[in-house]
Structure 1
Amino acid sequence: MDTNLDLKTREGLPEALRLLLEDFPRDEWQHHANFAGLVAFWLDRHMMFRRLCDMLRTDAEAAIDGRLAASQWNPRLSRFGGMLVQQLHGHHQIEDMHYFPVLSRREAALTRGFDILDRDHHAMDGLLDRFTRSANGVLQGQAEAGAFHSEALSFEAMLLRHLEDEEDLIVPVILKHGPDGLQ
């Protein structure tokens, strides 16, 4: 596959995979009849991932600046970092095993996009492992907040790229075809 489509380097999906987005632009999603239910729930999950990343990053910044003591930061890092990792693993498994195959059959012209997203998930397994090791280093007193912050920034950037691309591909397909057979 084209290395320009790697999660670490791409700036978005190719235009050929964003065709449905022209018919279903982001600013109109909430007004579509097929938005309520599955699409709204799925986008809420993505928003949760964004908020967790933001919280973990800003907590690390506060720890670096001395505004958040380890006694306050460590429980938050453990709880919310663990939540992010566990929820992302589960979310990706459901998408890879159920949603992507079903949606790919509904829009065969977008199969390449679902393959890219699946490949992202495999790449993110390594990112999640690095993120976890970095957080555990802080929690075990073997790493500084700055090291975790760098890892959190890198992880967040790639996760945000993936989430945006995933939404641009999947939401228009569900809006077009409806959620039947996906729930």
Structure 2
Amino acid sequence: MPSQPSADSPDPLALETREGLPEALRTLLEHYPRAGWAEDPGFAGLVEFWLDRHGMFRKLSTLLADEAGAAEAGRLDPERFAPRLARFGGMFLQELHGHHLIEDHQYFPVLARLEPRLERGFGLLDADHHALDPWLARLAERANAVIGAVQAWQGGAEPAGRLAEDLAAFAPLLERHLTDEEDLVVPVLLRHRGAGLG
């Protein structure tokens, strides 16, 4: 049995430190490798929709980081950035939070019952969601500071810079989570033909 991490050593499976899923949680991925997902008969429908959602989160994360950096550097007028940030930032945070709630309360319990040997993995993904929640709150706070500064005619470059820094720190955590989630969930969905979740 692996030893528990001490206070001095970080948990290697925590979102901030892990480099991927442990081998024990990648067993189905060996039978359903990424390269074959799109050709699998079970891909159309839920799996395709779910991966599209992940693609949207990645695109919005990149868009927001690029535009915040451009606003900080003076390449994007803060008055133009603020409404785009309100629209796309709000979409990003709300959709990501809602996506996590559906997974935690609907998808993961069903998938864990179908594949009990992977239950630990679904607990890991649930823990990721809790680790990302403070980041979502912080990003909302940073975005509101940018919008507030613009509305108060105080520019917005400085708060845009803080937002850009936080988005840059958040992006690898989001990518680690999305990649690991896909590697765990998609093979289960393909094996069980959507598991009646679609």
TM-score range, shorter chain: over 0.9
Matched, 1:66 2:91: no
Name the counterpart of 2:53: 45
Structure 1's unaligned 5+ residue stretches are none
Letter of the 2:184 counterpart: L
Specify the alignment match of 1:28 in structure 2.
36
Matched with 1:155 is 170
Deviation, structure 1 residue 62: 1.3
Tell me if the contact between 2:112 and 2:122 (Cα under 8 Å) persists in the aligned partners. yes
1:67 CA displacement: 1.1
Match of 1:174 in 2: 189
Runs of 4+ in 1 over 4 A off after TM superposition: none
Superposition deviation, residue 157 in structure 1: 1.3
CA offset at residue 181 of structure 1? Answer: 2.0
**Of 41-50 and 14-23, the range deviating more from structure 2:** 14-23
Shift of 1:26: 0.5
TM-superposed CA distance for 1:180, in Å, is 3.5
Whole-Å Cα distance in 2 between the matches of residues 136 and 11 of structure 1? Answer: 32
1:22-74 superposed Cα distances (whole Å, 9 cap, x missing partner):
11110110000000000000000000000000100110121122110011111
Counterpart Cα distance in 1 of 2:194 and 2:41: 11
Q: Any conservation in 1 of the 2:142–2:159 contact (CA below 8 Å)? A: no
Q: Distance in 1 between matches of 2:62 and 2:116?
A: 35
Q: Write the letter of the residue equivalent to 2:117.
A: A
Q: 1:81 aligns with which of 86, 89, 93?
A: 89
RMSD: 1.2
Contact residue 111 and residue 195 of structure 2 kept, 8 A: no
More helix by share: 1
Picking from 129, 133, 136, the partner of 1:128 is 136
Structure 2 counterpart SS, 1:179: helix
Provide the identity percentage. Answer: 54
Greater Rg, structure 1 or structure 2?
A: 2
Distance 2:189 2:159 in 1: 43
Unaligned runs of 5+ in 2: 6-10, 150-155
